[in-house]
Chain A
């Protein structure tokens, strides 16, 4: 028995990859949606979006920054989708921008996929500021003069002033909430250059990749960020709350049918975050099982090597 566990310590890593791949494929095919326990940070983010005064009569809009590339669609893309669905269900007006070339295309692409479901109209309910240069002059001039800094939208290349959504939107005071969905350090420029200069302080909600989550907690504790959706888990938590909101909207016939992620043409976004969380959980379980087996093997091997000299000494 012990030789079996000892063997597990020296197992070819390719077998581990094969087992993981099999688990991932089977889990993805099953595609069971998880019902996760919502993290406090995600709940705070959801509440901040809910409370933001960006409705049609408020004269303000939420700024959604989608600074990520195609390689993190599995995290950032799903967060963006959940948040945009929430904003559309709660009739918030918003602008999308990015400081990354791919993000400037992907953000509006996600919104465009969702807009027909919720009856959102470009220029009236949402607008795309497109790619902005993530450099100091932008962060200095944008808060003072949004229309003058961005000038034209990225879809029709028309002056921002021509769109109804931009009426009365001049400075950062008309942006009650910034939602920063990012796979890079772009949020720090807002924290460094814009937030300290705004009164009242600009509220920043954060959607980051799993890798970046642990380092963001000090910013939540200090109140610099109002909430955070970390990685796929954050997206799944947020989606759970949005699904509940959507079920109410369907029941009250506000919208025809719930959003179906299968209709998404974006790579890796054909399932909901909650379904993907099921796959993620199974993958974590496999890793945990391998770690436990490896450790049992190590302990048994250690016990055997300790016993061996005693047996030799006893003859």
Chain B
């Protein structure tokens, strides 16, 4: 976009990008028009066009998938174009879905009088809640940020939301982590056999008491990891520095496990895409040759 001096764009490159952008947009427009035309002829009785429309959607998916994968070879205009299309679609989908799934049935329909609600598909929805209309001007206060004189109104909403979430997080913290804190009190040695626990590596009798080695491992890992995060004491003395070093290794093992599962998760996603491509090719093979 800019030359080495970092000040002015390179005209040739800019022209090239414009050419690709217009070409790809034109191709997409043609493709979408073709899809709309096929869709126009799709009726319940017309299986031929319904199948054609399905194949059109699959072809679009295949082109988009291969286009996105093309980044693996090198940076290219097709990838950039599809990336922008994807973001645009996601935003567009979000806006429409918010209206159709949330605002329409939960805000607009309940504001209507009973006879008008009956005319819709939404049966059993509360009606005549006209006061819900006031949610609109309140929500619009967010946009007061664009008018310097009225910008203070925006702060009213933001402060309310922050206050709400501060209280909510405080209450939620206890519900979320409370059981984990109580469960972290695991006795490594007991004078009785824990109820329901089978005898094994984590529960055996020795010297007249019951030993639970996993609880010992748990305690060591817990204490060392917490030691790593104690910053109010300088890590110079051995009683804090050694557990903190061990804690660092435990954290690294955990991060390694997270990274491992991340790789597994990413592979699952790419496998799903490859499967889609293979299924599409199989379908086309079947359509053309059989």
Contact = CB atoms under 8 A, between A and B. Distances in A.
Interface of A: 14, 17, 21, 24-25, 28-29, 71-75, 101, 104, 130-131, 133, 136, 151-152, 157-162, 188, 191-193, 195-197, 209-215, 218-219, 221-224, 230-233, 267-268, 270-271, 276, 279-280, 283-284, 287
Contact of B121 (A157, A188, A193, A283): A157
B15 to A, nearest CB: 28
A222 B122 contact: no
B88 interface: no
B278 A192 contact: no
Given A101-B94, A213-B261, A271-B275, A231 B176 contact: no
Given A191-B175, A223-B183, A231 B265 contact: yes
Interface in B125-146: 125-126
Contacts of A268: 271-273, 275-276
Given A28-B278, A210-B265, 11 more contacts: A14-B72, A25-B278, A192-B172, A197-B175, A209-B268, A210-B261, A222-B183, A231-B261, A268-B272, A276-B275, A280-B271
Contact of B263 (A159, A267, A287): A287
Given A25-B278, A28-B274, A196 B175 contact: yes
A75 B173 CA distance: 29
Nearest to B176: A192
Contacts of A130: 101
Contact of A17 (B61, B72, B258, B261): B72
B63 to A, nearest CB: 14
B265 A75 contact: yes
Interface residue tally on B, bucketed by range: 35 or more
A158 B265 CA distance: 38
Contact of B101 (A131, A193, A210, A219): A131
A101 B276 contact: no
B278 A210 contact: no
B274 A193 contact: no
A210 B262 CA distance: 6
Contact of A232 (B180, B260, B268, B279): B268
A75 B172 contact: no
A24 B270 contact: yes
The 3 A-B pairs at the shortest CB distance, nearest first, are namely A74-B272, A210-B265, A159-B124
B271 A28 contact: yes
A50 to B, nearest CB: 19
B267 A283 contact: yes
Contacts of A104: 101
Interface of B: 61, 72-73, 93-94, 97-98, 101-102, 106, 121-126, 168, 171-176, 178-180, 182-183, 254, 257-258, 260-276, 278-279
B185 to A, nearest CB: 11
Contacts of A21: 274
Interface of B is mostly: helix
Given A133-B102, A267-B61, A159 B123 contact: yes
Contacts of A14: 72-73
A158 B179 CA distance: 39
Given A224-B179, A287-B263, A29 B278 contact: yes
B242 to A, nearest CB: 25
Nearest to B93: A101
Contacts of B94: 101
A74 to B, nearest CB: 3
Contacts of A231: 261, 264-265, 268
Contacts of B106: 133
A14 B257 CA distance: 26
A24 B72 CA distance: 16
B269 A71 contact: yes
A158 B176 contact: no
Contact of A101 (B72, B97, B269): B97
22 contacts: A24-B271, A24-B274, A72-B269, A74-B273, A75-B272, A101-B94, A133-B102, A136-B168, A152-B124, A158-B123, A158-B124, A162-B124, A191-B175, A192-B172, A193-B172, A209-B265, A210-B265, A211-B261, A222-B182, A230-B261, A231-B265, A268-B275
A218 B265 CA distance: 20
